[in-house]
Amino acid sequence: MPLSHRRESAHGSRSIARLTTGALTLALLSSTLVTAGPAAAADPIYKDPAQPVAARVNDLLPRMSLNEKIGQMTQGERASVSAADVTTYRLGSLLSGGGSAPNPNTATAWADMYDNYQRSSLATPLNIPLIYGVDAVHGHNNVRGATIFPHNIGLGATRDPALVQRIGEATAKEVAGTGIDWDFAPCLCVARNDRWGRTYESFGEHPEIATSMTSMITGLQGSALNQPGSVLATAKHWIGDGGTTGGKDQGDTQISEAELRSVHLPPFREAIARKVGSVMITYSSWNGAKLHGHKYLITDLLKNELGFTGLVVSDYNAIDQIDGQPGFTAAEVRQSINAGIDMVMVPAEWRKFIDLLRAEVQAGRVPMSRIDDANRRILTKKFELGLFEKPLTDRSFTGTVGSPAHRALAREAVRKSQVLLKNANGVLPLPKTASKVFVAGKNANDIGNQSGGWSISWQGSSGDITPGTTVLQGIRAAVSPQTTVTYERGGNGVDGSYQAAIAVVGETPYAEFNGDRPGGLGLDAEDLATLNRLKAAGIPVITVLVSGRPLDIAPQLPDWTALVAAWLPGTEGNGVADVLFGDHKPTATLPVSWMASAAQQPVNVGDGKTPLFGYGFGDRFPATQSPYSLIGASYYDEQRGTDVQRCTDSGCGQNVGWLAAGDYLAYADVDFGATAPRTVTTRVASGATGTGTLEYRLGSPTGPVVATVSGASTGGWQTWQSRVANVSGNATGVQRLYLVAAGGGGANFVNVNWFQFAR
């Protein structure tokens, strides 16, 4: 039975080999870099898909020359490798670094590029296919038009491994649809200091979260690697990169082995249990020793003790860091390979790597047993992926890139990742029927900012980088057609007539190294100025924080009525609006401790420090509201014909005005309890000549009346009186309460500030 159904036929690798030009054949024969392996049998075992993988590897390895084996261990970057290079040097792997894409950057162009390289690999004497890797770390994020999911920190907030597995499945389909076989994801680091620029790549500060989210691996790899739409997953970065001193990227994790094993190892143990196909080594050091040359951690611990049988790959140019000097050397090549690295990512200088490794093997400083072990691991994964049978892109998946179904899944992930941190007076959810809502902030209408780093380019960038829905667009789609949504990035023009202001602020895109913040972690000057303008308007301010980590916001928090941590949601900003306007309730909890100040870093659960918000915290919308507490009139969830304005007397806040006969306000889930109230106090103001009434009704605008309040003139539209009315009828249990205007001669006759029932 064939091992693979995931790729189209290569249409005959022997035919492709016959198409090789005479010049290329001559170059191959005369090259000192490549020597032919043993003569192939007429029907070699390694080409028989009915044979077990181990038998196929055992058959292929003796047929390979040293140069072919070294080629398999070499991974170059597409921008530095031609199709002819793949054939000439027998390269085993290519990658696209962040932002390295074909032109045009479309799914079809990616598939065409991949197939072109793959055909070149099949033109080699042994027809060993390439394996092509890419950092699809939150969806297929290098491809314009692909679905970009929330970054890992947001997924960690969901506490939903099943959701993350579905995201893995969707990502795998989009990746496979562009030909790519290998995803450098998921990142299983445990981030212990928010100053680290890769914090958003972590699922959280505690190993329990990353361990549970290894479900991503199952989603990416499927039930078997040779199944349609499956790709090879990568557990990264081995090991301890989230624990560097000071949160410094590529720094030194100065901890005991006991802590390394208890905090940073558990997610990798679970990844191996899920049969992850590859592991990538971290740039960082452990107690002064670079991981890329650390035989104890790579061979003794990862391969031998934990029993990892997949392939170990280096990070981008990382072997060059072993000696701390620019330019990788023979000693660095020797140390990294002998430490247990199977494939080396050398983007541009791959020819130099091939020469140095060959010389080290020929000199006996790297044993052939190590070369064969590396090749056995690499070839095993290629056979398991079914690349020998169906090496070209399965175009049936190309159309899934950015599909409506995948975007709907991303929107679900966004709304499930929103963490409600503050919600004074129950301001959230906002009413969809509000007459006016103000939106501000640099991250409100910017796909690039809300997607963060590793989005189309390595560091990410602001602006219209790829199709999607901004948070502002999501807000506009959520509200009623009668609601006016005003957007001004800096908050200019806001006034007291708006029911609320939504400030979408936070970080702009960054990735590793550039994202480190050894200084402060506060909001920038633009955000602070925007927030101050909104505060001065005297209306509720709902702050939506778009960021890759907690920020130092304790000084500003008292000025905000509500705070939502939106993390880096990706392309589907409508998921943020889903929560703000109550279509879905917030369910997420913090995957990290939220600092009381930047000086507190590092702060983690169990360390005895008191954070602003603790690990696992997440507020909820109240199931009910009490009528025996003061209810602000402007905190309705439905209205007809009214408007909101700022009160002029001190401490009044907002009032609802312009009420005329038939206008109403509605309040959901008002719990009167088993005993009905006796009275209701309503704070009103009126400068009208006509007199109307305010009726409290249950269930609908025409439901039973339980109280009636006079709307007679108080002597001015901001001259307030508290009027008490008796309550009758069956005002018990949980009710939808309506405040309905009646009479008044058809004109506006009253403003309402608040009301409160009493028994």
Q: For residue 651, what pLDDT band results from cuts at 50, 70 and 90?
A: confident
Per-residue pLDDT, averaged over 266-278, amounts to 98
- State both tokens at 370: 């190590």
CATH number of 66-397: 3.20.20.300
Query: How much is the pLDDT for 649?
Result: 86
First and final CA of the chain: distance in angstroms?
A: 77
Burial degree of 382 (CB within 10 A; 0-12, 13-18, 19+): buried
How far apart are alpha carbons 140 and 456 in whole angstroms? Answer: 9
Asked whether the domain spanning 418-581 has the same topology as the one spanning 66-397, the reply is no
Range 418-581 has CATH code 3.40.50.1700: yes
- State both tokens at 68: 């072919």
Q: How many helices (H) and strands (E) does the chain have?
A: 21, 28
HEC sequence for 632-701:
ECCCCCEEECCEEEECCCCCCCEEEEEECCCCEEEEEEEECCCCCCCEEEEEEEECCCCCEEEEEEECCC
How far apart are alpha carbons 237 and 219 in whole angstroms? Answer: 19
Query: How much is the pLDDT for 112?
Result: 98
Task: Read off the pLDDT of residues 610-637 as tens digits, 9 standing for 90 and up.
Answer: 999 999 999 999 999 999 999 999 999 9
Query: How much is the pLDDT for 17?
Result: 32
Q: Is the peptide bond before 622 cis (omega within 30 degrees of 0)?
A: no
Query: How much is the pLDDT for 466?
Result: 98
Burial degree of 23 (CB within 10 A; 0-12, 13-18, 19+): exposed
| Closest to 269 in 3D by CA, of 333, 212, 331 | 212
Query: How much is the pLDDT for 417?
Result: 99
Is there a catalytic annotation at residue 384? no
How far apart are alpha carbons 601 and 607 in whole angstroms? Answer: 11
Task: Read off the pLDDT of residues 456-501 as tens digits, 9 standing for 90 and up.
Answer: 999 999 999 999 999 999 999 999 999 999 999 999 999 999 999 9
- State both tokens at 65: 């020359």
Per-residue pLDDT, averaged over 296-306, amounts to 98
* Percentage of residues of the chain with pLDDT beyond 90: 93
Residue 30 scores a pLDDT above 80 = no
Is there a catalytic annotation at residue 638? no
Task: Read off the pLDDT of residues 170-228 as tens digits, 9 standing for 90 and up.
Answer: 999 999 999 999 999 999 999 999 999 999 999 999 999 999 999 999 999 999 999 99
Per-residue pLDDT, averaged over 575-597, amounts to 98
Under a CB-based contact definition with an 8 Å cutoff, are residues 203 and 168 in contact?
no
How far apart are alpha carbons 698 and 727 in whole angstroms? Answer: 12
CATH superfamily of 631-758: Galactose-binding domain-like (2.60.120.260)
Task: Read off the pLDDT of residues 289-298 as tens digits, 9 standing for 90 and up.
Answer: 999 999 999 9
| Closest to 39 in 3D by CA, of 16, 62, 22 | 62
Task: Read off the pLDDT of residues 220-266 as tens digits, 9 standing for 90 and up.
Answer: 999 999 999 999 999 999 999 999 999 999 999 999 999 999 999 99
The single-letter code of the amino acid at 411 is: R
* Percentage of residues of the chain with pLDDT beyond 70: 94
Q: For residue 42, what pLDDT band results from cuts at 50, 70 and 90?
A: low
How far apart are alpha carbons 175 and 181 in whole angstroms? Answer: 7
Task: Read off the pLDDT of residues 728-743 as tens digits, 9 standing for 90 and up.
Answer: 999 999 999 999 999 9
Task: Read off the pLDDT of residues 108-154 as tens digits, 9 standing for 90 and up.
Answer: 999 999 999 999 999 999 999 999 999 999 999 999 999 999 999 99
Query: How much is the pLDDT for 503?
Result: 99
- C-alpha dihedral (337, 341, 345, 346), degrees to nearest 10: -10
Residue 389 scores a pLDDT above 50 = yes
How far apart are alpha carbons 165 and 423 in whole angstroms? Answer: 31
Q: Which of 252, 315, 507, 578 is catalytic?
A: 315
Per DSSP (E only), the strands in 89-228 are 93-96, 131-134, 182-183
Q: Which of 512, 516, 527, 552 is catalytic?
A: 512
For residue 420, the cross-strand partners are 564, 619
Q: Where are the domains of the chain?
A: 66-397, 418-581, 631-758
Query: How much is the pLDDT for 3?
Result: 33
How far apart are alpha carbons 319 and 410 in whole angstroms? Answer: 36
Q: For residue 10, what pLDDT band results from cuts at 50, 70 and 90?
A: very low
Burial degree of 609 (CB within 10 A; 0-12, 13-18, 19+): middle
Q: What is the mean pLDDT of the chain?
A: 94
- Backbone angles phi and psi of 55, in degrees to 5: -65, -35
Per-residue pLDDT, averaged over 665-680, amounts to 98
Query: How much is the pLDDT for 43?
Result: 80
